[in-house]
A and B are shown apart, each in its own frame.
Chain A
Amino acid sequence: MSKTLFDKIWDQHVVDTIKEGPQVLYIDKHLIHEVTSPQAFNELKERSIPIFRPNQIVATADHNTPTINQHLPIKDKLSKNQLEQLSKNCFDNNITLYELGHKYNGIVHVMAPELGITQPGLTMVCGDSHTSTHGAFGAIAFGIGTSQVAQVFASQCLLLKKPKSLRVTVNGKLKKGVLPKDVILYIISKLGTNSGTGYFCEYAGNVFEDMSMEGRMTVCNMSIEMGARGGMIAPDETTFNYIKDRQFAPKGTDFDKKVSYWKTLPSDIDAVFDQEYIFDADDIGPMVTYGTNPGMGIKITETIPKENNSSFKKSLEYMNFEAGSSLIDQRINYVFIGSCTNSRIEDFRVAANFIKGKQKADNVTAWLVPGSKQVETQIIEEGLKEIFENAGFELRQPGCSACLAMNDDKIPKGEYCVSTSNRNFEGRQGQGSRTILASPLVAAATAVEGKIIDITKHLN
């Protein structure tokens, strides 16, 4: 029988099937961080259960870390405690940890791919919904709750029902200034925030085939924002070339062997999906969101739709926007380029390319937060740091930062922030803050102009 990419990997990982119930799915790699792991460690300790496969776990500190003066002791007591707990738990259980300051430290979904930990054909989980990012490599990767973190600690397995399959195909050629972030914001704006619930999504079509790994990660990252547990893209030469020679990638003949296995993974031509959507690249433009969920997005040239329901109105009220109006010329005082959606080197190259020779507008505070130590190093080595600093942007140290504002990087109440992150929920970037999601290009342009502009007119 013909199978999808998802079926092939899933079926190879089923340990057992409970009659009329879930399946026992084996997990190859378990990523953990400071916020969603402590209660799981406690649970195992309380029940005297050892960690079953510590060498399949990799830990990083990212959610709750400061993005300035990382070499100094952390001021916030609770944050400090949480990070110390992570270090202790990892040390006690022989788990690899890339703690704050380590050369491999970074946002979990940025550091694992760049170290070659993420590979096609794997099952990967993390107590974080954007684990879907790793699906860009043709892996089954999804976010789990803390109880499930404890389950994987105890057994390297999870009890799950196989999700249904969904395919989103985008063919054609993307217009100038349209980035992977726009593609995914466009898809979510068309399908809504719960269209993917119960599904695992595969992205297909030449738009994704032509995308870099960074771009594919941006797309898969936001699968969760349409409700899907994960997203994935078939592995191909782009994938293999990205993985080759990375720290933890297989080497030499092992690598070749893996590649021949990875080549068997893409969906069979006649594989059937439970649900299919097809879009045309030509219809996609640079996007912005205007509301309080990621599905509330429009092309930058469009106006906010008119809808007559209370949740929609509540959302616009929170944002202080009016139905029917345009976002162009909207004054913006904060710009954030970062988060596991857009904090890879390619994102900073796009931003730097636009910013070069220009100046940040006076009213704008612009934070650039690399996704990892390695990205930070690259920014410096490629000379991007200079471009940013000359233009008045603030390059910070890696972490989740203003994406969820657990640390001090908060957007003040009532202020708008054009952000390359993935969630524009009420208060996501700080109590009362108002988030407008966009690509790194739109974010960079906003910072330079001090307001939202029609970027399509500024590209030669």
Chain B
Amino acid sequence: MEKFIKIISKAIPLAIENVDTDQIIPARFLKATDKKGFGDNVFRDWRFDKNGNTNLEFSLNNDLYSGSILIAGDNFGCGSSREHAAWALVGYGFKVIVSSFFADIFKGNALNNGLLPLQVSPSFLAVLMKTVKEKPETKIEVDLENQTISLSDINVSETFEIDAYKKTCMINGYDDIDYLLSKKEMIEAFESLRN
């Protein structure tokens, strides 16, 4: 996993609530047996119509917007547990998703892939969404070490929460398997006690 410390980037607005994982990556693209290539199909049915024509109204297709931060509406990532959603977002180039609420499983999947699900207050989200929509060139700074997200142009910022353990993993690029393997003896002892 790549290390995540600080990111300064422009952002793409996605002012839709309850974005479910079926929208992030439709089921018909889940037939692969590796993690590659999902980025091409992220938000497939919003980006393209049935005949493959680009939907220019969709923000990811709008040349005005770019960057590795996605600003999304409330309750992002609900629905299926498919980690393919996280792979698709990472594959497309996102490093941070900002929303006022994330579904549980998606949040875990994102963190396990070095993608930061950054939860802000609804009022901060509204400011962020409006600013990015109106001034696409706005730079956003996400500082994981200090747990802040800021818009230096207009001098607003907010702190965000992240589990201390997950933060350490993200900053160092560790994953849970490394940790669990280090506990193997303890796990075996637990098993023998139960039997």
Contact = CB atoms under 8 A, between A and B. Distances in A.
B176 A147 contact: yes
Given A21-B164, A22-B163, A155 B16 contact: no
A151 B45 contact: no
A293 B18 contact: yes
B108 A15 contact: no
B23 A426 contact: yes
Given A81-B33, A154-B181, A314 B16 contact: yes
A15 B190 contact: yes
Contact of B79 (A145, A413, A423): A423
B175 A15 contact: no
A244 to B, nearest CB: 23
B81 A145 contact: yes
Given A151-B180, A155-B187, A432-B50, A194 B78 contact: yes
Contacts of B164: 20-21
Contacts of A158: 176, 180
Contacts of B190: 15, 26
B17 A311 contact: yes
B17 A197 contact: no
Which of B33, B113, B190 has the most chain A CB atoms inside 10 A of its CB? B33
A121 to B, nearest CB: 11
B81 A143 contact: yes
A148 interface: yes
Interface string B143-176: 0000000000000000000011100000000011
Interface SS of chain A: loop
A405 B27 contact: yes
A142 to B, nearest CB: 8
B33 A38 contact: yes
A193 B75 contact: yes
A78 B34 CA distance: 12
Contacts of B15: 310
B17 A147 contact: no
A458 interface: no
Interface stretch (B61-69, B98-106, B134-142): B98-106
A286 interface: no
A229 B105 contact: yes
A147 B175 contact: yes
A340 to B, nearest CB: 12
A78 B80 CA distance: 21
A82 B73 CA distance: 34
Contact of A404 (B27, B84, B86): B27
A26 B190 CA distance: 9
B187 A146 contact: no
A235 to B, nearest CB: 19
Contact of B105 (A145, A150, A310): A145
Contacts of B80: 128-129, 404, 423
B187 A425 contact: no
Contacts of B184: 52, 155
A42 B33 contact: yes
A145 B180 contact: no
A47 B15 CA distance: 40
Contacts of B31: 35, 64, 76, 78-79, 81-82, 406
Interface in B171-195: 175-177, 179-181, 183-184, 186-187, 190-191
Interface string A171-188: 000000000000000000
B3 interface: no
Contacts of B22: 404, 423, 425-428
Which of B18, B75, B82, B163 has the most chain A CB atoms inside 10 A of its CB? B18
Contacts of B34: 38-39, 42
A405 B80 CA distance: 14
B99 to A, nearest CB: 11
Contact of B45 (A47, A423, A427): A427
Contact of B28 (A21, A293, A406): A406
Contacts of B108: 144-145, 148
B50 A425 contact: no
Contact of A159 (B17, B30, B84, B165): B165
B183 A24 contact: yes
A156 interface: yes
A412 to B, nearest CB: 11
B35 interface: yes
Nearest to A199: B104
B112 interface: yes
A90 to B, nearest CB: 14
A285 interface: no
A425 B20 contact: yes
B65 to A, nearest CB: 18
Given A36-B83, A143-B81, A15 B33 contact: no
A425 B23 contact: yes
Contacts of B28: 405-406, 431
B105 A143 contact: yes
Contact of B83 (A22, A52, A76, A147): A147
Interface of B: 15-18, 20, 22-23, 26-28, 30-35, 45, 50, 73-75, 78-84, 86, 101, 103-105, 108-109, 112-113, 163-165, 175-177, 179-181, 183-184, 186-187, 190-191
15 contacts: A16-B186, A20-B165, A26-B187, A42-B33, A43-B177, A128-B80, A129-B81, A147-B112, A148-B108, A157-B183, A311-B17, A311-B73, A314-B16, A425-B22, A425-B23
Nearest 9 interchain pairs by C-beta: A21-B165, A78-B31, A147-B112, A38-B33, A145-B109, A155-B180, A145-B83, A143-B81, A146-B83
Given A129-B81, A147-B113, 4 more contacts: A22-B163, A36-B81, A143-B105, A193-B75
Interface of A: 15-16, 18, 20-22, 24, 26, 35-36, 38-39, 42-43, 47, 49, 52, 63-64, 76, 78-79, 81-82, 85, 127-129, 143-148, 150-151, 154-159, 161, 193-194, 197-198, 227, 229, 293, 309-311, 314, 404-406, 413, 423, 425-428, 431-432
